[in-house]
Structure 1
């Protein structure tokens, strides 16, 4: 690709990642170099503040769970504490992956620009690209909106409960957003205000870490899927037009090289997210189980907030598994497209090259959670099944305590 085409590709890629850039800058991270010393210092300050806040949130929730277990180990007292704690731990794991692999992600974005489809040479590829980018844009907007709306429902729930009880003439007390431990009396008048603001910042920080990482993965995975679909179309057209054997062989070799680059790209992306995937899969079942338990059995007042949390949790792990599954099937379809090409019109050398491509495409490529399991819709189904099993166990224990 020419330098102009690469710059245009980078512009299109950056435009598709605009929400990610916004979320990252909100927590003090960026793929761009700071323009000056003041910008650099400000980013570091915001990042350190975000990390310290998130670490205290996880620590405070952990201590509160420990205190609750020691005082009242009933399932209805303990289970409601785990989904917010799990969300904090998951945000921390994803934030660590994003910070630690930031340079790697920047490198992957730069590498993607080199193989980005050029609309000047292939109009059909341009159509595939536009449809993919449009779908990705809608998915990112919905995911971002649901997380932000859910967060602010949580933030404003204590205020809404206080106003509702006051209107009914009941004795009301302004609560807090999260159930967390503090080494002081958090309900003193002035301190209560600062704690409330601090907990708003906690929730927003968790969402920035969570959303930025999920959108980054889904964006890059979507682009890989798009490139695999373009590769499928190119393979289907092999030897269809009047080309010489040398031209056909050159075309096949270019497609093989593109496929190999996409395989390496998937592997690098999987390695960067592997730890975050493992923590996500381990915690998602617990988070979903606990919030369903609260919605169904315990707290109808918080139902709207918790339902939005449930929707966000289901969408969060679902979007990862969806794009992971997309890559698995898109790679498998490469072999089908190669077989559906005009290979029977080619010479033995071209056929051998296509056989090599088909054999490699039949070997699955997938994002993995530290090698334990693939990230796919099958994994999503397993998470939901496990969540139901946990819920059934908690429900049985709850009924036993009630009787």
Structure 2
């Protein structure tokens, strides 16, 4: 299977997401063409953010009216998740020209004339895809579980209340301020459906861009590994510095340098697409993990506890996989320099070997994803996020367990 076919197969989940969210990354020359392509996305955006505004107003009015602290914190993770989805999809559309460029480049990056060992190429593809599938499928399942929990838990709570008290009380998935009575028997079904659909939009506006990031990062990693193998075998064991061998060597070096530069450009495109939303992601992840963990320990109703367990799993895995792929790109880009050391450079003349120094020098500067330049996105960043989350969590638990805090 060719690189293009592998890329198309791996991108199927991204295409599904684009259809569900109403995102079309085709080039639009006029404003009318743009709205024709994105009308469903704007519908979802308005639908979701009506509830986000209601959640914010609920927190504000609740704080003013002295609502319980736990009721206020119940909505904060949801608000942060919705805003994160807004950031990710907005920047995906804003930098759609970079997405198109990156898609075309990765799909058509084919250096078979440089890479003749088909068995090794097949092995590299087979070793790279399981982690991508793990990230995409695990988050998809966790999102589906979280969505079902948010939608069904009010039903379980109402059934439980009716069973124990013989009184029928209406519940909604989220605490949202409305300028009308949301628990009116005629309006309640519409409000319920509205909130469940908003939860679907919020979860998948985060999951969709992340799936694109995982898939494209995987193919960047595959190309780095292919490049590394090509450099390691650029000098054959039988190299004797004949004119023909030197000519072939110079041609290979030129193509490898162009290949390397193209990969560096791909990482820069990926950085341009995600760097701003990554900064917001890194900032909110600590609060999301902290507040979700706090809700799990403080909420009394078991169905809602299970909802936030699923929500915590989604948040934890989302930032873990994001940082893991950032770490992978940094590591593989540096390993290109190691491959220069591992090739049989000592068989060529010093003047010829100097050409390898070009690759070695560039590989000393790792390609990396950053949070708008403030921090590198790698596994060290993930541990810092967890450390910060734990600090916030312990502080919040201390404040909440202090005398009288539960009634404030």
TM-score (norm 1): 0.91
Q: Does 1:340 align with 2:329?
A: no
Deviation string, structure 1 residues 360-383 (Cα, Å, up to 9, x no partner): 111122111111111111111111
Residue 207 (structure 1) aligns with: 203
Q: Secondary structure at the match of 1:369?
A: coil
* Cα distance in structure 2, aligned partners of 1:184 and 1:14: 48
Deviation string, structure 1 residues 158-182 (Cα, Å, up to 9, x no partner): 0111122223344241211111111
Residue 254 (structure 2) aligns with: 253
Residue 87 (structure 2) aligns with: 93
Residue 97 (structure 2) aligns with: 103
Q: Is the 8 A contact 1:118 1:126 kept in 2?
A: no
Residue 81 (structure 1) aligns with: 75
Instruction: List structure 1 runs of 4+ shifted beyond 6 angstroms.
Output: 39-42
Residue 264 (structure 1) aligns with: 265
Q: Is the 8 A contact 1:24 1:208 kept in 2?
A: no
How many Å apart are 1:66 and its aligned residue? 0.8
* Cα distance in structure 1, aligned partners of 2:189 and 2:37: 27
Residue 179 (structure 1) aligns with: 175
Q: Secondary structure at the match of 1:305?
A: helix
Q: Is the 8 A contact 2:161 2:168 kept in 1?
A: yes
Q: Is the 8 A contact 2:237 2:344 kept in 1?
A: no
* Cα distance in structure 2, aligned partners of 1:255 and 1:89: 42
* Cα distance in structure 2, aligned partners of 1:280 and 1:9: 31
Residue 13 (structure 1) aligns with: 7
Gapped regions of structure 2 (runs ≥ 5): 240-244
Match of 2:233 among 232, 237, 259: 237
Q: Secondary structure at the match of 1:353?
A: helix
Residue 129 (structure 2) aligns with: 133
* Cα distance in structure 2, aligned partners of 1:189 and 1:288: 35
Residue 242 (structure 2) aligns with: none
How many Å apart are 1:30 and its aligned residue? 2.5
Deviation string, structure 1 residues 223-252 (Cα, Å, up to 9, x no partner): 111111111111111213435122223222
Residue 166 (structure 1) aligns with: 162
Q: Is the 8 A contact 1:136 1:219 kept in 2?
A: yes
Deviation string, structure 1 residues 79-126 (Cα, Å, up to 9, x no partner): 222111111111111111122122321221001122146499431112
* Cα distance in structure 2, aligned partners of 1:300 and 1:379: 34
Residue 392 (structure 2) aligns with: 390
> 372-381 or 111-120, which moves further after superposition?
111-120
Residue 306 (structure 1) aligns with: 308
Structure-2 change in CA distance of 1:126 and 1:132 (3 Å): same
Q: Secondary structure at the match of 1:80?
A: helix
Deviation string, structure 1 residues 322-378 (Cα, Å, up to 9, x no partner): 000001111111111110110001122331111221121111221111111111111
Deviation string, structure 1 residues 299-322 (Cα, Å, up to 9, x no partner): 342121111100000011111100
* Cα distance in structure 1, aligned partners of 2:283 and 2:67: 23
Residue 218 (structure 1) aligns with: 214
How many Å apart are 1:388 and its aligned residue? 0.7
Q: Please, what is the CA RMSD of the aligned residues? A: 2.2
Residue 46 (structure 1) aligns with: 40
Q: Is the 8 A contact 1:245 1:347 kept in 2?
A: no
Structure-2 change in CA distance of 1:108 and 1:122 (3 Å): same
Q: Is the 8 A contact 1:252 1:350 kept in 2?
A: no
* Cα distance in structure 2, aligned partners of 1:251 and 1:349: 16
How many equivalent residue pairs? 393
Residue 148 (structure 1) aligns with: 144
Residue 278 (structure 1) aligns with: 279
Residue 364 (structure 1) aligns with: 366
How many Å apart are 1:291 and its aligned residue? 0.6
Q: Secondary structure at the match of 2:187?
A: helix
* Cα distance in structure 1, aligned partners of 2:136 and 2:350: 46
How many Å apart are 1:260 and its aligned residue? 1.1
Q: Secondary structure at the match of 2:372?
A: coil
Q: Is the 8 A contact 1:325 1:377 kept in 2?
A: yes
